[in-house]
Amino acid sequence: MNVSKRGLDIQPSPIRKLKPFADRAKEKGIHIYHLNIGQPDIPSPEAVLDAIHHYDEQIISYGPAQGYLELREAIAKYYRSYDIPLNADDVIITIGGSEAIHFGFSVIADPKEEVIIPEPFYTNYNGFASFADVRIVPLTLSVENGFRLPALEEIEAKITGKTRAILLCSPNNPTGTVYTRQELDGIVSLVEKYDLFLIGDEVYKEFIYDGAVHTSVLEYERIKDRVLVVDSISKRFSCCGARVGAVITRNSDVYKALLKYAQARLCPPSVEQTAAIAAYRMGPEYFQEVREEYQKRRDVLYGGLKDIPGIVIDKPQGAFYIIVRLPIKDSEHFVQWMLTDFQMDNETVMVAPAQGFYSSPGKGLDEIRLAYVLKEKDLLRAIEVFKAGLSEYKTHFD
């Protein structure tokens, strides 16, 4: 009667590991600027909160396993506004993007099969790979060249007889990279050549700056059977706790398999699906405003960090994260030290050590991820405190 091997092996959240140190700092009365997590401070849209306040069912009953038709239609319409021809029957509502990834892995790969993912990557992919007993094969990128994809030969070298898919997250968490059409063209050619699926995690689709345009993997008509897109309202509408996501596919066999997975867990949350319908019915001006806000924050953060001596940094093009290399040896130690040993006027900053975003051992030890999820004023102050902390840290540990 022991915990299963997989129960012991599944990775604990690398970010939450530092929470006790943050809690202790707070107990000492220190204010922490949280640049460590992707929880935006942007209020959920009024339309969403209104939909909750006016939820008019008498019974919170089971909905369809694939989600409410109205929501699936609203999502399809959203994609059509980007000239991507989808209809409601290409969409399955999931419990957050999380479940979309879990189900996606499960229907395209059998246990022990492989999915290639550029690293650093969203740590929770590890959890879903564990749920689905799938192996993630990392393709290591580097901050030096702005986390661009390497030459095709280098990607090709990762493909084995067990490879079933390549997963691309764009705009990327944790790097902020947006893959170019040329980069995607290369991946698409590999997917065709090696008969693979392509999973696009596009939950940050709307967060793209400097007037750039997001290219969705759904735009490649010639591989439409090979594409799964993972989506979510969490970041798009600042509704992280609603747990409403979607998996999109135009492959009817994949859809059928996904639907069976969906049936097993009955349905996504009914109240919050209702709220999500209201979210998708807002016009594109909502995104415009939020996008401008994040672009401003990105500029503030990038501008504040880029001149730190010894930093390696590339201006992120999307999402609301950045990974930078610092002139230190052990970023986990640094992050912890910022919580336990540093304060400036009773304030400190919490960031995420980047190690947890790599699956190759020893990678990212001198890198951190910052999320620009605070208002400009707070962000400016956080940068000031961060720089003072880094500077003091280096006098102790250099």
Q: Pick the piece of the chain touching a second copy (CB under 8 A) from 3-11, 26-34, 81-89, 360-368.
A: 3-11
Element (H or E) spanning 85, and its range? none
Closer CB to a second copy, residue 259 or residue 388? 259
Determine, following the binding rule CB under 8 A, whether residue 292 of this chain makes contact with a second copy: no
Determine, following the binding rule CB under 8 A, whether residue 58 of this chain makes contact with a second copy: yes
Determine, following the binding rule CB under 8 A, whether residue 24 of this chain makes contact with a second copy: no
Inter-CA distances, 2 with 7, 10, 129, Å = 10, 15, 22
Sign of CA dihedral 90, 95, 99, 101: positive
Closer CB to a second copy, residue 2 or residue 395? 2
Place of tokens 């129960």: 7
Count residues near a second copy (CB under 8 A): 84
Listing from the earlier edge strand, what are the strands of the sheet with 245-249? Answer: 91-94, 245-249, 227-232, 197-201, 163-169, 114-119, 135-140
**Close Cβ partners of 388 (under 8 Å, ≥ 6 residues apart):** 344
Sign of CA dihedral 232, 234, 239, 241: positive
Closer CB to a second copy, residue 103 or residue 334? 103
What's the closest the beta carbon of residue 116 comes to a second copy, in angstroms?
A: 14
Determine, following the binding rule CB under 8 A, whether residue 282 of this chain makes contact with a second copy: no
Q: How far is the C-alpha of 376 from the C-alpha of 382, rounded, in Å?
A: 10
Determine, following the binding rule CB under 8 A, whether residue 43 of this chain makes contact with a second copy: yes
Inter-CA distances, 210 with 121, 147, 371, Å = 24, 18, 18
What's the closest the beta carbon of residue 223 comes to a second copy, in angstroms?
A: 9
| Token code pair at residue 137 | 């094969």
Closer CB to a second copy, residue 167 or residue 239? 239
Q: Pick the piece of the chain touching a second copy (CB under 8 A) from 51-59, 145-153, 318-326, 375-383.
A: 51-59
Bridge partners of 169? 201
* Distance from the first to the final alpha carbon of the chain: 48
Pick from 36, 126, 295, 331: which binds a second copy (CB under 8 A)? 126
Return the SS3 of 314: coil
Determine, following the binding rule CB under 8 A, whether residue 266 of this chain makes contact with a second copy: yes
Pick from 265, 306, 329, 375: which binds a second copy (CB under 8 A)? 265
Determine, following the binding rule CB under 8 A, whether residue 137 of this chain makes contact with a second copy: no
Q: Give the footprint of a second copy on residues 156-185 (CB under 8 A).
A: 164
Q: How far is the C-alpha of 198 from the C-alpha of 203, rounded, in Å?
A: 15
- Is the CB of residue 108 less than 8 Å from the CB of residue 199? yes
**For residues 21-51, b (16+ Cβ closer than 10 Å) or e, as one string?**
bbeebeeeebebbbbbebebebebbebbeeb
What's the closest the beta carbon of residue 126 comes to a second copy, in angstroms?
A: 8
Q: Pick the piece of the chain touching a second copy (CB under 8 A) from 21-29, 34-42, 280-288, 293-301.
A: 34-42
Closer CB to a second copy, residue 242 or residue 322? 242
Closer CB to a second copy, residue 130 or residue 340? 130
Return the SS3 of 203: coil
Pick from 72, 78, 113, 277: which binds a second copy (CB under 8 A)? 113
* Contact string 194-213 vs a second copy (x = CB under 8 A): -xxx----------------
What's the closest the beta carbon of residue 315 comes to a second copy, in angstroms?
A: 27
* Contact string 233-252 vs a second copy (x = CB under 8 A): -----xxxxxx---------
